[in-house]
Structure 1
Amino acid sequence: MLVDPWQVDIQELFEASFNEPDEIKRNLYDSLYTYVLQKRQEDIINRPGFVI
């Protein structure tokens, strides 16, 4: 899962985080969601021709 962030269903991670009653698991899902989102953003920013 951590090899290619584009292969992960980020919506599924978000929903798992949102719907999880156990605080420890919710924090885990939230951390995974944030990690995958950050990796995707880094990938987009590092593409040739990307301009802000």
Structure 2
Amino acid sequence: MDEKKVLKPIDEILSDPWQVDIQELFKASINEPDEIKKNLYDSLYTYILQKRQKDIINRPDFII
């Protein structure tokens, strides 16, 4: 498989965390029987969630 064909969609997914359906990643992680794929979905879910949290925290109007 051509590495560039694989990496481009991954880069597109990770470039804008707000365009990813995080619920679908969570469901895929929960329902995946293959341990390697489950770990991949879980890692993607965690990464997207962290990116979204960072975006929210860095907003000028964010107050704790």
Shorter-normalised TM-score: what interval? over 0.9
Percent identity over paired residues: 83
Shift of 1:14: 0.1
More helix by share: 2
Unaligned runs of 5+ residues in structure 2 are: 1-12
SS state at 2:15 partner? coil
User: Where do 5+ consecutive residues of structure 1 fail to align?
Assistant: none
Letter of the structure 2 residue corresponding to residue 36 of structure 1: I
**TM-score where L is the length of structure 2:** 0.80
**Cα deviation, residue 15, structure 1:** 0.1
Deviating 4+ runs (over 6 angstroms): none
Structure 1 length as normaliser, TM-score?
A: 0.98
